[in-house]
């Protein structure tokens, strides 16, 4: 059918012809999706993990009083769920220490590091808000029973980590260096496509969750095993604006820096240990010889 000059009839698009999207627009869209995924991943981890912390903190007797492993499993499975939900979009770093280590050792784009970290912290804030929504009646009742207020740090352990008995801030810092080093050592091994012992298909997500749980079961009582700056700082930031004030930021003894600095240093140490002491000695092979999904991707382009 002919279309007369001046007609306002719109032409139908030819089937099979793809719309050309400017490269910059596509890159921006991809990054936006990655940042949303990172935010959701940390939100999942904090909501489920801090809810487990609430159950051990707020109830007497706590269902976890003689079964701390249950808290550890809750945190670990929260990480596993986060990976399954968001891994195909962002690779599920869900941890600034992981993002930094991937930049240093696996080519993750430097321009994405700060946006990823900001999204992760935002996810921690949102997760903490959900935890408060779930638990605020129990938190308030706990504080009344204990004769505490939020400003005095009542129930603060639900949201962010604190040093355990006999633990100084500097000791806690070195604890976090060591524990986060084990985390990144394990993550780099689990996600190395050339590592014949790495889990195949999508089981890496479960193994990373079990790794987090094992670290918690081994050292969780020291200072709550944050091993993730966003998991601690996001809820800490939220708590500082919702009644906990200075008991959250900067925290007693200016403690807030410990769960940030320790994991960053430890992550580089653990990832570096794998990169320099293990990876060079893996049996040479092609990707097709050992093809399997990785659960933490670099996102390098």
Per-residue pLDDT tens listing for the chain (301 residues): 444 444 445 555 445 555 565 667 889 999 999 999 999 999 999 999 999 999 999 999 998 988 999 999 999 999 999 999 999 999 999 999 999 999 999 999 999 999 999 999 999 999 999 999 999 999 999 999 999 999 999 999 999 999 999 999 999 999 999 999 999 999 999 999 999 999 988 899 999 999 999 999 999 999 999 999 999 999 999 999 999 999 999 999 999 999 999 999 999 999 999 999 999 999 887 554 544 444 455 554 4
Q: Which two tokens stand for residue 98?
A: 């992981």
In a domain, 1, yes or no: no
pLDDT value for 25? 86
What global pTM score does this model have? 0.88
Cβ–Cβ under 8 Å, residues 64 and 56: yes
Q: Is residue 203 part of a domain?
A: yes
List, in order, residues 6 or more apart from 55 with CB less than 8 Å away: 62, 63, 64, 71
In angstroms, rounded to a whole number, what is the distance separating the alpha carbons of residues 32 and 35? Answer: 5
* Domain annotation covers residue 39: yes
Residue 131 domain-assigned (yes or no): yes
> C-alpha distances in angstroms, 133 versus 8, 99, 127, 129?
54, 29, 10, 6
296 within some domain: no
Tokens found for residue 296:
């933490």
Q: What pLDDT is stored for residue 19 in this prediction?
A: 58
Evaluate whether residue 146 is within a structural domain.
yes
Domain that holds residue 220: 29-290
Containing H/E element for 83? Answer: helix 68-90
As a whole number of angstroms, the distance between CA 191 and CA 174 comes to: 26
∠ Cα 67 156 131 (to 5°): 75
Distance, CA of 5 to CA of 220 (rounded, Å): 76
d(CA 14, CA 90): 33
- 19 domain residue, yes or no: no
Buried b (16+ CB within 10 A) or exposed e, 198-219: bbeeeebbbbbbbbbbbbbbeb
The span from the CA of 227 to the CA of 49, in Å, is 13
CATH of the domain at 77: 1.20.1080.10
Number of structural domains, the chain? 1
Q: Examine residue 70 and state whether it is found in any structural domain, yes or no.
A: yes
Distance from C-alpha of 152 to C-alpha of 136, rounded to nearest angstrom? 16
Tell me the C-alpha distance between 226 and 42, whole Å.
13
Q: What is the pLDDT of residue 200?
A: 85
Gyration radius of the chain's alpha carbons: 22
- Report pLDDT for 287: 52
CA distances from 179 to 14, 82, 154, 209, 219 (A): 58, 21, 27, 15, 8
């Amino acid at each position: 059918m002919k279309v007369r000059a001046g007609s306002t009839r719109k032409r139908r698009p030819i089937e099979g012809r793809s719309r050309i999207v400017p490269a910059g627009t596509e890159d921006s869209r991809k990054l936006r999706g990655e940042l949303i995924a990172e935010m959701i991943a940390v939100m999942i981890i904090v909501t489920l993990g801090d809810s487990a912390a609430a159950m051990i903190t707020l109830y007497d007797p706590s269902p976890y009083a003689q079964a701390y492993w249950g808290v550890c499993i809750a945190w670990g499975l929260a990480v596993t769920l986060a990976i399954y939900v968001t891994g195909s979009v962002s690779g599920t770093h869900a941890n600034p220490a992981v993002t930094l280590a991937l930049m240093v050792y696996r080519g993750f784009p430097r321009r994405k590091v700060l946006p990823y970290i900001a999204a992760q912290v935002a996810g921690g804030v949102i997760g903490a808000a959900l935890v408060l929504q779930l638990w605020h009646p129990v938190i308030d009742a706990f504080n009344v029973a204990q004769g505490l207020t939020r400003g005095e740090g009542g129930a603060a352990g639900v949201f962010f980590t604190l040093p355990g008995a006999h633990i100084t801030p500097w000791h806690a810092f070195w604890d976090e260096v060591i524990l986060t080093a084990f985390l990144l050592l394990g993550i780099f091994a689990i996600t190395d496509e050339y590592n014949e012992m790495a889990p195949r298909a999508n089981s890496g997500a479960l193994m990373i969750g079990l790794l987090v749980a094992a670290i918690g079961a081994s050292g969780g009582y020291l200072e709550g095993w944050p091993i993730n700056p966003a998991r601690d700082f996001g809820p800490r930031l939220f708590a500082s604006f919702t009644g906990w004030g200075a008991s959250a930021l900067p925290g007693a003894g200016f403690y807030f820096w410990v769960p940030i600095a320790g994991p960053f240093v430890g992550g580089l140490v653990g990832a570096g240990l794998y990169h320099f002491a293990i990876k060079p000695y893996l049996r040479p092979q092609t990707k097709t010889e050992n093809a399997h999904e990785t659960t933490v991707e670099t996102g390098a382009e």
